[in-house]
Structure 1
Amino acid sequence: MTSTNKHRLVAYLAWTCLAGLLTTGCGLSDTIQARRLAREGNSDYRQARYEQAIEKYEQALKLDPETPNAYLNLGYAYFSIYEPDSDKELKRRAAALAVEAFEKHLERHPRDESSRVFEIKTMLAAAPHDQQLAARAQKIFLDMLRKNPDDHEARQYLITLFIDCKRYQDALRFFSKDLEKKPNDIQTMKILAIIADKSGLVQDAVDWYWKRAEVTSDQEKKATLFYEVGTYAWNLLHYQPDRLQGAEATKLADQGIAACRKAMKLKEKYAEAMVYANLLYLKRALYETEEVARSWDNQLAFDLRVQAGQILKERRQAEAEKKKQQAAQQAEKKKGKETG
């Protein structure tokens, strides 16, 4: 090798080393600056300055995507400003942005279960207002159940999603396989009744509540379940009167009365069912268009009220007598100990 070539090689190696040092130096500088910004973001977050915190975390991650916990804290900050009805787009989109940040954190820390749970709760909170997040959450929960059919937590997440997002048809498809295996599963039927009600499908809800009673063989339990149909009907008509009007309201009152009557036949002196049948007759009277029908409903309600009152009076008397006998027995035992 000539002297000139040697000098060129030395110069090249020197330049390569210098370039490496400069590159490393810039990287180190970015990391230091990113961590400083992350700390400032943490300070803003603690003082509830969430939008400022978001800015700092975003800047830190641009400089160094591996800034410790920056994605996690960014997710928390986004969720803190989430307002689905806000006139600001950032606040409306904040839950979706929080989920994205949590996802990036979990890519780096797949075993961080507490963060995974918070991500799920973020999706559930936003799902009723964001159809894309709702679909994403539903897919995640179904995947969890495919991997582990006994994952009760995933099942509960899915039920919550069905209820909050009013996804009755999706729920029906999901639970149909359970009812095929266990046609008399009254717990699944109750879940479907609740989801149907929350989805605005009152008749579907009544049908499921009614079916629960029909498939139950134990007579006392059957009576209780028919009674629950009556309580559902009255609670809806009384506390949510705007949901049903006219003929639909009358039909629901009729179904509630019929259910209470069935309960009264199955269980002797069922005062509670009598009370609700009375209340439902009074409700039906409000929807009647003819005076004769209103008078008839009011009379039926009065008769049931009197019967229920008499039964409840007898119960109170029996309970008082029982307590009296127990007190006498205790006094007798105490007297025996003292004389002994």
Structure 2
Amino acid sequence: MRKAFINGAGLLAIVLIFFASGCDKLKSRDHLNQGVGAFKSARYGDAVEHFKQAIALDPENPNARLYLATAYMSQWIPGAESPENIEFAKKAKEEFMEVLKKDPNEKTALASLGSLAYNQAQSLSPEQKQEKFDEAAQWNRKLIEVDSKNKEAYYMLGVITWAKWYPALMTARANLRMRPEDPGPIKDKKVKQELRDKYAAMVDEGIQDLQKALDVDKEYDDAMAYMNLLVRERADLVDSEAEYKKQIEVADSWVQKALDTKKLKAARQPTTGGIVQETK
């Protein structure tokens, strides 16, 4: 009898544990839903608290930590140097990294970390800026490893290339007393070769990345715009004025393609319905 009582008590304890666990999961889901509602209403502080509660109640909740990281990132203002703002970026990165510990292929986390690093770079010193751009590129390459058709990742690699190369080109031009609107190519052979050695392969790769984005989406007009920039600026590194003019023509064609694509997309937008005045 005593043995039966002990077995019964043990079974009851197990049932209670499972019941409590089930209740916690339901509570976690409720906090998750409340957090989503707060996030959609731009009440990011409230959203953070709900997502933290959801994680505390159910650490295995697959979405709560991702949403928490996103809520932190949504409060972060690029370039603002307040301690609170810096903490938002720090916590966002920490939570996205926690997401990747459980799922290294989580695409939203990879893309968000790339975006975070890229935007953090904007307000840094030149040396720190390059390091952050490199970090952003690494996250986007990891995203491409997971999703080889991710056009935004290829596009961001092209944008990062431009952000790293353009200041160096403008500095070289300024040192040679060339205005931004002055036609190229750069005539100082030593300066041109130094730029080639350091940036030519990078710019070529950036153009290839933008082309890959366009291979995925032939109407990706943002990629066309940066294709124009990289081709146009790369023209400064060619040897002859004739080749320079050819490259500028290619760049101009990308400008026109981008404009035509924007017009095409605009034409597809549905017209506003409603009552209209008849014409006689």
Provide TM-score, normalisation by structure 1.
0.44
Q: In structure 2, the residue corresponding to 1:120 is in which secondary structure? A: helix
AA aligned opposite 1:137 = A
How far apart in 1 are the matches of 2:145 and 2:76? 31
Q: In structure 2, the residue corresponding to 1:67 is in which secondary structure? A: coil
Query: Could you report, residue by residue, the CA deviation over 1:222-252 in whole angstroms, capped at 9, with x for unpaired residues?
Result: 46889xxxxxxxxxxxxxxxxxxxxxxxxxx
Query: Could you report, residue by residue, the CA deviation over 1:67-105 in whole angstroms, capped at 9, with x for unpaired residues?
Result: 242222222211211124546433223234223333444
1:216 paired residue among 236, 239, 257: 239
> 8 Å contact 1:127–1:161 — kept in the other structure?
no
How far apart in 1 are the matches of 2:109 and 2:155? 18
2:19 paired residue among 25, 30, 35: 25
How far apart in 2 are the matches of 1:71 and 1:57? 7
AA aligned opposite 2:91 = L
Bigger RCO of structures 1 and 2 (CA < 8 A, at least 6 apart): 2
How far apart in 1 are the matches of 2:139 and 2:56? 29
2:52 paired residue among 42, 54, 58: 58
Q: Which runs of 5+ in 1 are unaligned?
A: 1-6, 168-191, 227-340
| Structure-to-structure mapping, 1:113-152, within 5 angstroms | 113=107, 116-129=110-123, 136-140=135-139
- Could you say which residue in structure 2 is the equivalent of 1:83? 77
| Structure-to-structure mapping, 1:233-272, within 5 angstroms | none
* Inter-CA distance 143–16: structure 2 relative to 1 (3 Å threshold): same
* Inter-CA distance 209–89: structure 2 relative to 1 (3 Å threshold): same
| Structure-to-structure mapping, 1:109-188, within 5 angstroms | 112-113=106-107, 116-129=110-123, 136-140=135-139, 157-158=156-157, 160-161=159-160, 164=163
- Could you say which residue in structure 1 is the equivalent of 2:42? 48
1:14 Cα offset (Å): 2.2
- Could you say which residue in structure 1 is the equivalent of 2:168? 196
Instruction: Say how many residue pairs are matched.
Output: 192
How far apart in 1 are the matches of 2:132 and 2:238? 37
AA aligned opposite 1:125 = N
> 8 Å contact 2:24–2:57 — kept in the other structure?
yes
How far apart in 1 are the matches of 2:112 and 2:77? 17
How far apart in 2 are the matches of 1:213 and 1:135? 24
Q: Percent identity?
A: 23
* Inter-CA distance 205–134: structure 2 relative to 1 (3 Å threshold): farther
How far apart in 2 are the matches of 1:134 and 1:223? 31
* Inter-CA distance 48–213: structure 2 relative to 1 (3 Å threshold): closer
**When you count helix as a share of all residues, which structure comes out higher?**
1
Q: Which has the larger radius of gyration?
A: 1
* Inter-CA distance 19–108: structure 2 relative to 1 (3 Å threshold): same
- Could you say which residue in structure 2 is the equivalent of 1:241? none
AA aligned opposite 2:18 = T
> 8 Å contact 2:79–2:122 — kept in the other structure?
no
How far apart in 2 are the matches of 1:66 and 1:139? 28
How far apart in 2 are the matches of 1:147 and 1:64? 27
* Inter-CA distance 110–146: structure 2 relative to 1 (3 Å threshold): closer
AA aligned opposite 2:76 = Y
* Inter-CA distance 8–135: structure 2 relative to 1 (3 Å threshold): farther
Q: Which runs of 5+ in 2 are unaligned?
A: 179-183, 193-234, 249-280
AA aligned opposite 1:220 = A
1:205 Cα offset (Å): 11
- Could you say which residue in structure 2 is the equivalent of 1:94? 88
How far apart in 2 are the matches of 1:146 and 1:204? 41
- Could you say which residue in structure 2 is the equivalent of 1:16? 10
